[in-house]
Amino acid sequence: MEVKLTTLAENTANYGFIGEWGLSILVEADGKKILMDTGLGFSAARNAKIAGVDISAIDSIVLSHGHADHTGGLRDVLEVKGDVEIVAHPDIWDAKHAQREPESFQYIGIPFPREALEGKGARFKLTKEPVLISEHIMTSGEIPMTSGYEEIDRNLFIKKDGALQPDSLSDDLALIIDADFGLVVILGCGHRGVVNTLRHAQKLTGKEMIYAVIGGIHLIRASDEQIELTIAELQTMGIQRLGVSHCTGFKASCRLAQEFPGVFFQNNAGTRIDLP
Tens-digit pLDDT profile for residues 204-229: 999 999 999 999 999 999 999 999 99
pLDDT averaged over the chain?
97
Residues 6+ apart with CB under 8 A from 263: 239, 240, 241, 242
Local confidence band at 103 (pLDDT 50, 70, 90 cut-offs)? confident
Residues 6+ apart with CB under 8 A from 108: 67, 68, 69, 96, 97, 98
Given a cut of 90, whether residue 75 has pLDDT beyond it is yes
Averaged pLDDT for residues 145-170:
96
What pLDDT does 101 receive? 84
Local confidence band at 176 (pLDDT 50, 70, 90 cut-offs)? very high
3-state secondary structure of 155: coil
CA–CA separation, 23 and 130 (whole Å)? 21
3-state secondary structure of 31: coil
